């Protein structure tokens, strides 16, 4: 028999947690490129080497190839550079209400009315010009919504220099103006959307049996 005792439904919901995602971004692109080059060259040299040099009794970790040893040592330094340049952005899911608030606060621009059937050439050209301007305004609104969506979703930004627990829309605009800024914003927007769309899929062991916490 199911227990019909009343309970605080929203207190139960509040006992849960919100989905989050982490996005790792790196500001030292020179180090990232060098790391790729080093790993590519190391792979080439290792392919040329025998796994075990029977004459010298050396393993790959103790290579007789000075270039390989130097590359492995450099790789450690480059990885340290990359780690110092890392930004870890944690974003969380947003409620449908919060997303609606963002959209309501940044409404779509009004579409220009088309010219009448008997309108002259100048009127039609003017309408085309207004439509071009309208398209630009739509793109601007879409970008502003993206800024607002990301700003609302950010929980923290962790770097080697410290932790930031929020970010303003103006700061996101400034970020976009930098090289690689748009790519970073795309990743953040995608992560925030993934967190928002996420739901808990019960592990197989839970789906195969009744919960011991739910009375039946």
Q: What percent of the chain has pLDDT over 90?
A: 69
Residue 216: pLDDT band with limits 50, 70, 90? very low
pLDDT band at 118 (very low <50, low <70, confident <90, very high): confident
Burial annotation 110-128 (CB, 10 A radius, 16+ → b, else e): eeeeebeeeeeeeeeeebe
**Which pLDDT band holds residue 88 (cuts at 50, 70, 90)?**
very high
* Separation of alpha carbons 200 and 196, rounded Å: 12
Per-residue pLDDT tens digits for 151-175: 999 999 999 999 999 999 999 999 9
pTM of the prediction?
Answer: 0.79
* Averaged confidence pLDDT in the chain: 88
Q: Is 57 left (phi over 0), alpha (psi -120 to 50) or beta?
A: left
């Amino acid at each position: 028999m199911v227990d019909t005792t009343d309970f605080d439904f929203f207190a139960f919901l509040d006992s849960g947690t919100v989905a989050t995602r982490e996005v790792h971004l790196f500001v030292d692109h020179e180090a990232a490129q060098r790391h790729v080059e080093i790993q590519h060259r190391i792979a080439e040299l290792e392919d040329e080497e025998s796994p075990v040099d029977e004459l010298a009794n050396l393993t790959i970790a103790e290579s007789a190839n000075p270039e390989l040893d130097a590359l492995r040592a450099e790789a450690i330094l480059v990885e340290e550079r990359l780690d110092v340049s890392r930004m870890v952005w944690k974003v969380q899911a947003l409620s449908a209400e919060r997303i609606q608030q963002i959209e309501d606060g940044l409404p779509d621009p009004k579409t220009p009315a088309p010219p009448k059937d008997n309108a002259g050439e100048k009127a039609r050209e003017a309408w085309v010009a207004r439509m071009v301007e309208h398209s630009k305004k739509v793109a601007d609104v879409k970008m502003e919504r993206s800024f607002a969506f990301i700003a609302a979703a950010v929980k923290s930004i962790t770097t080697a220099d410290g932790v930031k627990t929020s970010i303003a829309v103006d700061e996101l605009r400034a970020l976009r103006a930098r090289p690689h800024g748009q790519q970073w914003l795309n990743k953040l927007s995608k992560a925030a959307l993934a967190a928002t769309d996420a739901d808990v899929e019960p592990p197989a062991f839970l789906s195969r049996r009744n919960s011991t916490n739910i009375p039946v």
